[in-house]
């Protein structure tokens, strides 16, 4: 039960309510486009994103998420409007997937895995800990997992985008969006902790304190 609670806390810290921002406007866009046409769909998507942003600010949530969500819809709607193709609403998703694939591959080639950088930036743990030979393999393997997931998502989106299938795109984007990413994070967390245990390296606090082996290892957080 404690492990399940730990996982929920970890996922909550990453997601923090952004799922609605990612799912609601695309659904409204495709639905509106089917009944009212592209121009109206663009307007409805923008208004929905603006309302979500205002609600976030009203609830005193991070303004960065409010602005980011709105600008994301503006960017996506702009692609659809300028090309007069509803399916192109999802071009930014294709671009983001391609960027993550490129970033993951680049960091693997240089031996500084993306998962380690993400963990360092979100948790503030010292970079030197991540690059230890009894720590880094766990982050390298998780980065490979991320690479395969986003490569698969990229291929699926490109195929559907070429076909111009906006309706299927919105469903795929929903499944492989936050639900898929949350699943990926859960698998990464469970696998990462288990892998660190097998590697028998020091936990972050043990590393910072300069403790000698044998170590207890990292028991929470990845």
Q: Which residue carries 């990464």 as its tokens? A: 188
pLDDT, one tens digit per residue, over 34-61 is 677 777 877 887 888 788 778 777 877 6
The pLDDT, as a whole number, for residue 198 is 94
pLDDT, one tens digit per residue, over 159-215 is 988 888 777 888 887 788 877 888 898 899 999 999 999 999 999 999 999 998 889
pLDDT greater than 70 at residue 18: no
Q: With the CA atoms of 188, 189, 194 and 198 taken in that order, what torsion angle do they form, in degrees rounded to the nearest 10?
A: 70
22 Cβ neighbours under 8 A, 6+ residues apart? 69, 177, 178
Find out whether 142 and 89 touch, Cβ atoms under 8 Å: no
Structure tokens at 15: 């997601």
pLDDT greater than 70 at residue 2: no
Q: Which is nearest to 88 in space by CA: 98, 77, 72, 102?
A: 77
Structure tokens at 177: 């969006």
Q: What 3 state SS string does 143-208 have?
A: HHHHHHHHHHHHHHHHHHHHHCCHHHHHHHHHHCCHHHHHHHHHHHHHHHHHHHHHHCCCCHHHHH
To the question of pTM greater than 0.85 for the whole model, the response is: no
Q: Count of H helices and E strands in the chain?
A: 11, 0
pLDDT greater than 60 at residue 78: yes
Find out whether 142 and 192 touch, Cβ atoms under 8 Å: yes
């Amino acid at each position: 039960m404690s492990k399940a609670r730990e996982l929920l806390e970890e996922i909550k810290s990453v997601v923090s309510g952004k799922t609605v921002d990612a799912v609601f406007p695309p659904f409204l866009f495709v639905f509106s486009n089917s009944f009212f046409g592209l121009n109206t769909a663009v307007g409805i998507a923008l208004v929905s994103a603006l309302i979500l942003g205002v609600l976030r600010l009203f609830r005193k949530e991070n303004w960065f998420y409010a602005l980011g969500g709105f600008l994301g819809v503006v960017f996506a709607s702009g692609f659809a409007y300028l090309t007069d193709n509803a399916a192109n609403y999802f071009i930014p998703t294709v671009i983001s997937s391609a960027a993550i694939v490129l970033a993951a591959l680049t960091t693997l080639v240089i031996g500084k895995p993306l998962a380690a950088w993400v963990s360092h930036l979100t948790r503030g743990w010292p970079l030197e800990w991540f690059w230890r030979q009894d720590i880094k393999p766990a982050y390298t393997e998780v980065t490979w997992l991320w690479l395969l997931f986003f490569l698969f998502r990229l291929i699926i989106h490109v195929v559907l985008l070429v076909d111009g299938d906006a309706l299927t795109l919105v469903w795929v984007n929903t499944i492989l969006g936050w639900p898929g990413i949350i699943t990926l994070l859960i698998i990464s967390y469970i696998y990462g902790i288990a892998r660190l245990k097998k590697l028998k390296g020091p936990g972050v606090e043990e590393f910072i304190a300069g403790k000698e082996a044998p170590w207890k290892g990292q028991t929470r957080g990845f």
